[in-house]
Amino acid sequence: MRPRTDEILRSLLWTFDEWIEPETTTPFARSLALTMGNLMRHVILRVELEGDLLFEDNRELRQLLARIAGYAQGEDRGLAALGDRISGALAARYWGGDVYPSVARLVEEATALRWALTDAIRELQARRARLGESQDYRDVRRDIRDYLGRQLDREGKMIEPAFVGERR
């Protein structure tokens, strides 16, 4: 369907940048105009990238959580309840096989999975004194840190290019 949402937004941004923003005269209006331009660029990037990035992130986070659940349910580490909670989060489905995974559904899934990861980080950190010398523990913690780095890189693709140039 034409025009696409991103095309409409680009047209709005062009009109704003070329005709409205240059007419701002007061410092407050100038500040608002700069903020609005940055936010419009950010929305354009989100429309273009957010669905794919969330889908990729959720897939990677599911793999990480499965690894953490396996670790938690392994030897007697006192983490069986954590493994069960993670398994419950992984079992939840936010769309069926023939349903398009909208951004809203992907966000709901991401929120639940990220809460499970937050829970896992807290539980693992609380047991660091007891488990911290174990190579398996260190490997799981490294995997979490590596994932978080990649997550920040993905999210940065939607933020950094949008907030360039003059800012308020």
Query: How confident is the model over 98-118, as a mean pLDDT?
Result: 95
Mean per-residue pLDDT, 90-106:
91
110-159 pLDDT tens trace: 999 999 999 999 999 999 999 999 999 999 999 999 999 999 999 999 88
Position 139, amino acid: D
Distance CA 67, CA 143 (A): 9
pLDDT band at 165 (very low <50, low <70, confident <90, very high): low
pLDDT band at 166 (very low <50, low <70, confident <90, very high): low
Which pTM was predicted? 0.87
Burial of 32 (0-12, 13-18, 19+ CB in 10 A): middle
The letter for the amino acid at 133 is E
Q: SS3 for 11-25, per residue?
A: HHHHHHHHHHHHHCC
Q: Are 165 and 17 in contact (CB under 8 A)?
A: no
Rg (CA), the chain: 21
CA distance 62 to 60: 5
Buried b (16+ CB within 10 A) or exposed e, 99-123: eeeeeebbeebbebbbebbebbeeb
Quote the Cα angle for 162-164-165, to 5°.
145
CA of residue 3 relative to chain centroid, distance: 28
pLDDT in tens, 35-60: 999 999 999 999 999 999 999 999 99
